[in-house]
Structure 1
Amino acid sequence: MGLKESLAKLSMINIKRGEVLFKEGVPSNGAMFFLFEGQLDIYKQIENKHVKLRSILPGEFFGEMAIINNSPRAASIVVVSESAKLGIINRTTFVQMSQESPEFLFLLLKKVIERLYETDGKIRAIKRKQDEDSVIAKMIPTPSATSSESNESIVTQDPFSENTTPIGE
């Protein structure tokens, strides 16, 4: 059986715009996901701000760290499209897919490595910009808004408030 056949057998969930699939730091339920439809954004808390790292588009796997070592969620995931259709991959399904479709493991490992490089670069760039802004602010103090307030990647409405219940947990 190939990867497409394995994906077709997954349990599905549908979630709506603005819903949080899971929050950074919460214990995982041991599941990863495959996005069939919609768009999700990944946010990481950096210096008490939720910063968008990247988007997840149809055809992508995510949440694999929950399968591999059952670690707490490394980032928060929010639905940004009107809705999203996700397949749930638990540990049993993961092992079965790995045995039936060796290309699954290769594609997943390749994607994880690409994401590590991409995320590391983005976090370094964000911290470098914050350091530069801090130096400039010390040199030229002004009462106007800080540059981080104009940064598009920072969430203005907080979908991560304590009142929000993650969908995927």
Structure 2
Amino acid sequence: MAKENLRYLVLTALLAALCAVGGLVKIPVSATASAALDSAPALLAAFVLPPVLAGFTGALGHMATAMSSGMPFGALHFIVAFEMFFIILVFAHLHKKGFHKLKWAWMLIANGVLAAVPFYFLISPAFYIAAVPGLVLATAINIAVAFVCVPALQRVKKMVKS
């Protein structure tokens, strides 16, 4: 059991670090959204980690992006980090339950559209309307990157188990 916990701790740290690196790769979608490749490693975490740890990886990934962007919305990024935790947690649960198409749709809708809803009220409706197209595009790019990487990750996972 301790060996398994250590493996999860190391994988969480590794994938969170990859989220931080991905956070440095900015996606120029709009002036209103801090978009980067920080979600792709968090999506991959859902394939190898328990859902809670995958969610934690997603939250850390967003905070890394926010910090490397200069935290343009300050403390509001903590709201987004919590949202990322929840979005990746649900994504991981959907993966574990075998809802393979639904998990990708969930990610696109939840991260691209729903995650910005609090800012409709906290900042303005115009901010929300301006941010959503860029967030949907950035989410689609993160999904595509993760989707392409999944086969390699599954091969590595099989090698580690044997």
TM over 0.5: no
TM-score when normalising by structure 2: 0.35
Q: Which has the higher strand share?
A: 1
Instruction: Name the larger-Rg structure.
Output: 1
